[in-house]
């Protein structure tokens, strides 16, 4: 058995920020990640991180209001205010740790414009901001002496008398299963993008953390709020950063019309993501698209500017769509990008299960509500990662380990033996694709009652098939076949909670747009939907009022 004060599940920005802050307070910290830390999905973040710096004449209140309006008034205003207040110090702390942000002509930290915001307040490192931040944090946690279990896969959380006391995990290299006893566990396991196909997310974004929390009694909140990003590449669904529009790109339809002028006269291409995605999908549905896409045009920015600021996406468009954006517009479509919902947590990361924390994309604090603003997620990971680490480090000082022994791994060992012994012939790959396609079709940009019902039936049917999945590799060394099958189990639970929450919300708000109920209904739905597991393994729904402090809901216009 392994033993630590704090076990952090996930080595993306949230997990590593939490590790650093807990380590600074003297806690014994271990981080576990199913991939090498710098391969976490945070590495793929392109566009930047938001902060309103006072010496720029910006104000956290303006950032907060843009975020609240972006959330379609579903975000909790106290949490949003706190995130925006702490944003500046977090960005500057990253700079002091060694992140080399782009500078403006005066040599100060430079910003670019991002969607849904009245100020250019997105700090960036070209178009690979996440990679820059992740590498800096990795250096910092190594320097601070945090232990990293690299390429270990967490199978389950250990809960005794309602309290979390550790986790069971498998060394992917050897197949060895170990119990880790911990006084606090921080879930920082990222998002669930791959529950949808296609998605901008890495193949490892399979909702493990949401499901791990759900299985031990934590609630999942706002799960119906799934972000479709306006600019993902035709075919592969690879992300073309909002930075392109931030730097001035146009969106064109098949008539060569800059259609956003019509839908969002003030913000144009830089309206909120949910808004732009709906406009594009409307153009496509009404016959003004090109082969299921519209066009992103940056040619007017010129080759020099594009190479300096958007080099990665230029390469991506060449590699994945064979288009050089310097010479021609890029075919793009709305694509699944981000889950606003997650494990319900407060601003210190505490979930409903004592000893269990959650931060980053796995969590729902709720600072994004119905729609996340671009560049607010990196901010969320750092602010709430740090706060969770601090809270957990203080908590463990006065906490004893729960009585946990090696038998805590028995259920997982049996489960794996059963999976390996299965002689039925369903393939995880086919089930995963069928699930993802059903989610896209029925819970994508536009939804309606009948479609969602049909979607729920499809999810139930793939779930049934998943019971018969065949794991061809029986070995213990790097058994990715087994891992993908375990991930499929997590994904199906996430899919179900998205579907049931979406079918419950009888209005349109943010990313949840119902063609049969197009209006926002503040009288009945200024509240969060929470899904938890009941005693029979079924889903239990509950509700929580949105926290409104200074900003009353108004009609959202861009």
Residues marked active site are found at 273
Q: Is 381 in the site for ligand FAD (CB under 6 A)?
A: yes
Query: Which residues within the stretch 348-377 sit at the binding site for ligand FAD (CB under 6 A)?
Result: 360-362, 375-377
Number of other residues whose CB lies within 10 A of the CB of residue 360:
34
- Quick one: which of 6, 9, 396, 459 contacts ligand FAD (CB under 6 A)? 9
- Our CB check for ligand FAD shows the closer of 208 and 493 to be 208
Who contacts 147 (Cβ-Cβ below 8 Å, separation ≥6)?
4, 29, 30, 31
Who contacts 407 (Cβ-Cβ below 8 Å, separation ≥6)?
none
Site string for ligand FAD, 135-174 (x = CB under 6 A): ------------------xx--------------------
Site string for ligand FAD, 173-192 (x = CB under 6 A): ---------------xxxx-
CA-closest candidate to residue 294, choices 246, 243, 249: 249
Alpha-carbon span 28 to 90, nearest angstrom: 23
Tokens representing 522?
A: 């503040």
CB of 276 to ligand FAD, least distance (A): 16
Q: Is 336 in the site for ligand FAD (CB under 6 A)?
A: no
Q: Which residue(s) pair with 539 in the sheet?
A: 533
* 468-498 burial: b if 16+ Cβ within 10 Å, else e: ebebeeeebeebebbbbbbbbbbbbbbbbbb
Q: E strands along 45-138, which residues?
A: 49-50, 111-112, 122-123
Alpha-carbon span 199 to 204, nearest angstrom: 12
- Quick one: which of 6, 14, 20, 317 contacts ligand FAD (CB under 6 A)? 14
Question: Segment near ligand FAD (CB under 6 A), from 10-18, 53-61, 446-454, 462-470?
Answer: 10-18
Query: Which residues within the stretch 31-60 sit at the binding site for ligand FAD (CB under 6 A)?
Result: 32-35, 40-42, 44-49
CB of 554 to ligand FAD, least distance (A): 25
Size of the site for ligand FAD (CB under 6 A): 44
Number of other residues whose CB lies within 10 A of the CB of residue 317:
27
CB of 258 to ligand FAD, least distance (A): 24
Number of other residues whose CB lies within 10 A of the CB of residue 16:
35
67 near 379, Cβ under 8 Å? no
Site string for ligand FAD, 459-498 (x = CB under 6 A): ----------------------------------------
Q: Quickly tell me which residue has 């909002």 as its tokens.
A: 242
- Quick one: which of 6, 7, 8, 13 contacts ligand FAD (CB under 6 A)? 13
Give the ranges where 145-217 is alpha helix by DSSP (H).
208-215
* Degrees to nearest 5, angle at CA 112 with 107 and 117: 135
Tokens representing 485?
A: 């099958």
- Our CB check for ligand FAD shows the closer of 111 and 129 to be 129
CB of 244 to ligand FAD, least distance (A): 12
358 near 343, Cβ under 8 Å? yes
- Our CB check for ligand FAD shows the closer of 381 and 501 to be 381
Site string for ligand FAD, 190-219 (x = CB under 6 A): xx--------xx--xx--xx----------
In this chain, which residue has its C-beta nearest to ligand FAD?
12
CB of 41 to ligand FAD, least distance (A): 3
CB of 287 to ligand FAD, least distance (A): 30
Contacts with ligand FAD by CB under 6 A lie at: 9-15, 32-35, 40-42, 44-49, 129-130, 153-154, 188-191, 200-201, 204-205, 208-209, 239, 338, 360-362, 375-378, 381
């Amino acid at each position: 058995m392994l033993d630590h004060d704090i076990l952090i599940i996930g080595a993306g920005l949230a997990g590593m920020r939490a590790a650093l802050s807990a380590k600074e307070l003297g806690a014994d910290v271990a981080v576990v990640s199913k991939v090498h830390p710098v391969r976490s999905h945070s590495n793929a973040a392109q566009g930047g991180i938001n902060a309103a710096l006072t010496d720029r004449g910006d104000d956290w209140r303006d950032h907060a209001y843009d975020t609240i309006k972006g959330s379609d008034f579903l975000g909790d205003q106290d949490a949003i205010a706190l995130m925006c207040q702490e944003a500046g110090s977090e960005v500057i702390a990253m700079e002091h740790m060694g992140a080399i942000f782009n500078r403006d002509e005066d040599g100060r930290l430079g910003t670019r414009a991002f969607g849904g915001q009245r100020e250019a307040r997105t700090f960036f490192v070209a178009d690979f901001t996440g990679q820059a931040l992740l590498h800096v944090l990795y250096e910092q946690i190594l320097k601070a002496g945090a232990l990293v279990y690299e390429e270990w896969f967490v199978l389950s959380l250990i809960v005794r008398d309602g309290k979390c006391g550790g986790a069971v995990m498998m060394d992917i290299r050897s197949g060895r299963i170990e119990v880790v006893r911990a006084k606090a566990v921080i879930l920082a396991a990222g998002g669930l993008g791959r529950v949808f196909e296609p998605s901008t997310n890495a193949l490892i974004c399979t909702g493990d953390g949401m499901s791990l929390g759900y299985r031990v009694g934590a609630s999942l909140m706002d799960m119906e709020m799934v972000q479709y990003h306006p600019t993902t590449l035709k075919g592969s669904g690879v992300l073309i950063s909002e930075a392109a529009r931030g730097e001035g790109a146009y969106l064109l339809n098949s008539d060569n019309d800059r259609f956003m002028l019509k839908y969002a006269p003030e913000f144009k291409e830089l309206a909120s993501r949910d808004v732009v995605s709906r406009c594009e999908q409307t153009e496509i549905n009404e016959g003004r698209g090109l082969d299921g896409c519209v066009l992103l045009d940056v040619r007017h920015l010129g080759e020099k500017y594009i190479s300096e600021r958007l080099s990665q996406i230029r390469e991506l468009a060449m590699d994945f769509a064979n288009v050089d954006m310097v010479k021609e517009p890029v075919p793009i479509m709305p694509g699944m990008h981000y889950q606003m919902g997650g494990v319900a947590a407060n601003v210190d990361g505490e979930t409903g299960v004592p000893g269990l924390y959650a931060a980053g994309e796995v969590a729902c604090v709720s600072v994004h509500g119905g729609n996340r603003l671009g560049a607010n997620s990196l901010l969320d990971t750092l602010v709430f990662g740090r706060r969770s680490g601090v809270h957990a480090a203080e908590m463990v000082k006065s906490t004893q380990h729960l009585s946990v022994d090696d038998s805590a791994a028995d259920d997982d060992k049996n489960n794996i033996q059963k999976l390996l012994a299965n002689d039925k012939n369903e393939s995880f790959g086919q089930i995963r694709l069928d699930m993802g396609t059903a989610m896209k079709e029925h819970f994508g940009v536009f939804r309606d009652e009948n479609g969602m019902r049909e979607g729920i039936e499809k999810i139930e049917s793939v779930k049934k098939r998943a019971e018969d999945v065949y794991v061809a590799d029986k070995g213990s060394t790097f058994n990715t076949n087994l891992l993908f099958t375990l991930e499929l189990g997590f994904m199906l639970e996430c899919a179900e909670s998205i579907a049931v929450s979406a079918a419950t919300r009888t209005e349109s708000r943010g990313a949840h747009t119902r063609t049969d109920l197009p209006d926002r209904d503040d009288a009945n739905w200024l509240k969060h939907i929470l899904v938890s597991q009941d005693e029979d393994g079924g889903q239990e729904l509950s509700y929580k009022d949105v926290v409104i402090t200074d900003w009353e809901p108004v009609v959202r216009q861009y």
